[in-house]
Amino acid sequence: LLVRQYTFNWESTLLSNTALVKTVEALSWLPERLGFPVPDSQAVIAGRLNNHIEDARAWAGLLIGSIVCYGILPRLIAWLACKITLKTLRERLNLNQPYYQNILRTWQTKIVDADDFQENIVPVS
């Protein structure tokens, strides 16, 4: 809590400047369409050890936008698809079929040991 500002210094040791710019542009396409600030090509190239506030805001916007677009939204869409499919699916499983009966017998094992434990409570004097 004693720090005033975090800086974003992103660079790649594997990609050239042009490949890094193209990668960041591809990654930032959807967050930019949804209104998140994203770094431009100049900010990507200058993103090595600089302290520009606007560039830091753009990198932070890309980070938050990527979490929302590529982490939260796909899971939300999958959940909605499952919810809609479940509501429209009227057919239930027929658990009386032999296939399901075999699964139920396998997974619902019965206890074969009798409950014959006798607890002896000794009074304390």
Res 5: pLDDT: 62
The answer to the question of residue 117 being in a domain is no
pLDDT higher than 80, residue 15 = yes
The answer to the question of residue 57 being in a domain is yes
The answer to the question of residue 10 being in a domain is no
The answer to the question of residue 77 being in a domain is yes
The answer to the question of residue 6 being in a domain is no
Residue 49 contacts residue 38 (beta carbons within 8 Å) = no
The answer to the question of residue 74 being in a domain is yes
CA pair distance 92, 115, nearest whole angstrom: 37
For 102, the domain range is 17-107
Calculate what percentage of the chain has a pLDDT beyond 90. 34
Alpha helices in 1-125 (DSSP H): 17-27, 29-33, 41-45, 53-67, 73-88, 98-107
Query: Which band of pLDDT confidence, cut at 50, 70 and 90, is reported for residue 112?
Result: low
The model scores a pTM over 0.75: no
User: What is the tens place of the pLDDT at every residue in 41-90?
Assistant: 888 887 766 667 778 888 889 999 999 999 999 999 999 999 998 888 77
The answer to the question of residue 23 being in a domain is yes
Count, in order, helices (H) and strands (E) of the chain.
6, 0
Look at the chain and report how many structural domains it folds into: 1
* CA count, 13 A, side-chain hemisphere, 110: 3
